[in-house]
Amino acid sequence: MYGSGSGSLRGMSQDPLCLICNMNIESTLHYLRDCCTYAAKPIRVGAMALSFGHSRHFVTSYISLKFPFFFTIRHFSSDLDWNTDLSPPPDFELGPSQSSKHSLPSLQLSNDAELVSKILLQHHNPFHTMESSLQLNGIRVTPHLVHQTLIRLKNVSKIALGFFSWAKDQANYHHAAAAYHLMIDILGKVRQFDVIWQLIIEMDQRNLKPTSTTFAILIRRLVSAGLTRQAVRAFEDMECFAEKQADHDDFCYLLDTLCKYGYVKVATEIFNKQKFRFEPDVKMYTVLICGWCKINRPQMAEKFFREMVDRGIEPNVVAYNVLLNGICRRSSLHPEGRFERTIRAAENLLDEMRERGIEPDVTSYSIVLHVYSRAHKPDLCLDKLKMMKDKGICPTVATYTSVVKCLCSCGRFIEAEELLSEMVCNGVSLSAATYNCFFKEYRGRRDANNALKLYQKMKEDSSCLPSMHTYNILVGMFANLNRMEIVKKIWDDMKASGAGPDLDSYTLLIHGLCEKQKWREACQYFVEMIEMGFLPQNGHI
């Protein structure tokens, strides 16, 4: 099962770290290559042909759910861009239905789920089946337990799938749709779409009909992986599985997802083909306007905005804010003349809003304030913030974060810290993004002491937990400073919080260890990374 020959894994110790620690560097690299080759080798268990209505689906699966630890592992690169959001959140809420209709269960307090996930993370063995590492005596499997455990295992897809398959076979328990949705989302993050289709078919076979939410999760993960054609096909196949016609909200979700990940031309093409089936409205146009703005094509955004008005569709404050964001967010602000042109264009659009009887809101002013922040004009930022408060407009956490970022980048840390206190006094919850503004500047200045002080303060503030991005900034920073004892502490905190580690965390840590020629530790984390389901490209070995 594990392969054959002297280079296979079959004859290796069950504890690969014991073997590695006694190897020289050349032997270690050979071993790691074997691990990678084995882990990345798919296991075909046959093709499945199932008929649904008038459509016939051929699904080729590379995994048996009875052996959940053997399936293709995601490749990744260490070329990390901290300014790039790989899973982009929406800049604006285009309507309540999109977020509420396709929501997943959220993290909740569960001692049993904490215990189960801890057992699985600490004692799992990738070369054994789930039962050999899972000791759940005295714990009753319930939907709540399964959901909360899967949420805690969201970054370790192999273990999550193993637990999902194990729970499915337990007496007096049946997976709810939410469990399948969580598992589909987890697998989608590591691009295991063959397995996802098998789960969707399994739902149908168990009379647990896939819904528009099932396909919304799949579509989002397909688009995020760049598989736009498959995403459109999944949208079309939804009618066969869910046995319902796609509605206006479903179509908006498809367009919105394509646009958020930068596939605006694809979204526009689908919109033009389907606009006679799905009547365009302000929400649909706003999605497309936002998409064109996102890829820095404000002229196309304005074209669709004017087309919307010409069709007699009245724009609302959200549509105007999206267009305003497109004008301001990506425009070049240097030299000074470009900054002034951007501000003039923004003010003209705000005047047009008022002429239509639409009063600019906190988002409108925050967008303009962000231009001042990007241009590194702290005094203008503070003046704009004061003007908002004088108008009775309460700044949001995003507004404050823009000002804090500007102040930090200009070295005005005392004023930035005063704003943190003001946020707390005004009842504005601090966010990890606000703290990250400080951490990024401390990283650039190699200021370990202040970074540690702020990190300790953040940990003491139970209302704002460090994000995955926060941990990665700090891991990279202290690894570069050769403060490995601090890196170890932050790494343990990250694991204890359940936030990670993720792909980038391992890359930063392993590269930092290699730069310091700490080969033994680097190999240990390399093997751990593989066991957790993350596989580097050949250039990393």
Tell me whether residue 237 is in a domain.
Answer: yes
Give the position of tokens 């706003």.
286
Domain residues for 214? 46-68+108-241
Band the pLDDT of 140: cuts 50, 70, 90. Answer: confident
- Average pLDDT score, the chain: 80
Work out the average pLDDT over 529-536.
Answer: 77
Model pLDDT, residue 503: 84
Q: What is the CATH number of the domain that holds 128?
A: 1.25.40.10
Model pLDDT, residue 494: 92
| Predicted confidence (pLDDT) per residue in 151-166, tens digit | 999 988 989 999 999 9
Question: Percent of the chain scored above 90 by pLDDT?
Answer: 53
Tell me whether residue 195 is in a domain.
Answer: yes
Helix axis angle, 193-205 to 177-189, nearest 10°: 170
Work out the average pLDDT over 87-97.
Answer: 39
Question: Does the predicted model carry a pTM greater than 0.75?
Answer: no
Tell me whether residue 190 is in a domain.
Answer: yes
Tell me whether residue 412 is in a domain.
Answer: no
CB 177 within 8 A of CB 214: yes
Q: How far apart are CA 224 and CA 257, in angstroms?
A: 8
Tell me whether residue 208 is in a domain.
Answer: yes
What total number of domains does the chain contain? 1
| Predicted confidence (pLDDT) per residue in 2-38, tens digit | 333 333 333 344 443 444 344 444 454 454 455 444 4
Tell me whether residue 279 is in a domain.
Answer: no
Model pLDDT, residue 101: 64
Amino acid identity for residue 24 in this structure: N
Tell me whether residue 191 is in a domain.
Answer: yes
Q: Which residues contact 236 (CB under 8 A, 6 or more apart)?
A: none
| Predicted confidence (pLDDT) per residue in 61-89, tens digit | 333 333 333 333 333 333 333 333 333 33
**H or E stretch including 173?**
none
Q: Is the peptide bond before 501 cis (omega within 30 degrees of 0)?
A: yes
Tell me whether residue 153 is in a domain.
Answer: yes
